[in-house]
């Protein structure tokens, strides 16, 4: 890859490949640069350090989730689709829970993520503050279940309950509990 083609999107995709193959502890700018066939210093124009790499990777995964949500006529359907997209992405990503919990985002990225998740809910009739609380609750539920599903006690958890079904039931219960309608 020539340096002219080196983009944040390409860097995030290469980082995701390294993460899924080798895990979060082995993810490094050097390994991402090697995957892109460039020298590590070339990445510093786009990503200053590993913390920024983690933030870029988490942001990329999140944006991909949002792009998979179909048009919805009801905020409940949007939240459910959002939760399922996050669940699928996090389960497809090695060490996703650790990545999300460890990737400190710049304020402008957090604001953009907030706007991207709240805007569809506001368009579907929710007040902005309520939309923010609801989407944050769904994110917390998904990340909590992801941490269980990828954590050190995964085998035991899987032996006790069907994780995907339990997550889906929990998501539905959360959305039902957020519904102000009787």
* Residues 8 and 77 placed together within one structural domain of the fold: no
Question: Tokens at residue 97, please?
Answer: 């829970």
* pLDDT reported for residue 181: 62
Residue 53 maps to a domain: no
CATH of the domain at 12: 1.10.10.60
* Residues 37 and 109 placed together within one structural domain of the fold: no
* Structural domains of the chain, count: 2
Percent helix, strand and coil across the chain, each to the nearest 5: 75, 0, 25
Residue 57 maps to a domain: no
**What is the span of the domain harbouring residue 19?**
3-48
Neighbours of 3 (CB within 10 A): 11
Angular region, 72: left φ>0, alpha ψ -120 to 50, beta rest: beta
Tell me the pLDDT of the chain (182 aa) as tens digits.
444 578 989 999 999 999 999 999 999 999 999 999 998 888 888 888 899 999 999 999 999 999 999 999 999 999 999 999 999 999 999 998 888 888 888 899 889 999 999 999 999 999 999 999 999 999 999 999 998 888 888 889 889 999 999 999 999 999 998 877 65
* Residues 90 and 149 placed together within one structural domain of the fold: yes
* pLDDT reported for residue 4: 52
Residue 40 maps to a domain: yes
Helix (H, G, I), strand (E, B) or coil at 83: helix
* pLDDT reported for residue 2: 46
* Residues 78 and 161 placed together within one structural domain of the fold: yes
CATH of the domain at 141: 1.10.357.10
Residue 59 maps to a domain: no
* Residues 76 and 42 placed together within one structural domain of the fold: no
């Amino acid at each position: 890859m020539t340096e002219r083609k080196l983009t944040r999107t390409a860097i995030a995709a290469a980082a995701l490949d390294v993460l899924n193959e080798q895990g979060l502890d082995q993810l490094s700018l050097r390994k991402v640069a090697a995957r892109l066939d460039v020298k590590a210093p070339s990445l510093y124009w786009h990503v200053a350090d590993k913390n920024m790499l983690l933030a870029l990777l988490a942001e990329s995964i999140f944006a991909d989730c949002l792009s998979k949500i179909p048009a919805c006529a009801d905020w409940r359907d949007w939240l459910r689709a959002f939760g399922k997209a996050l669940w699928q992405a996090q389960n497809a990503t090695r060490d996703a829970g650790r990545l999300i919990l460890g990737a400190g985002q710049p304020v402008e990225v957090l604001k953009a993520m907030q706007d991207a998740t709240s805007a569809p809910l506001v368009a579907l009739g929710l007040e902005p503050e309520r939309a923010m609380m609801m989407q944050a609750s769904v994110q917390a539920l998904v990340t909590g279940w992801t941490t269980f599903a990828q954590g050190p006690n995964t085998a035991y958890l899987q032996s006790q309950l069907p994780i995907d079904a339990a997550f889906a039931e929990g998501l539905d219960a959360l959305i039902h509990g957020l519904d102000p309608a009787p």
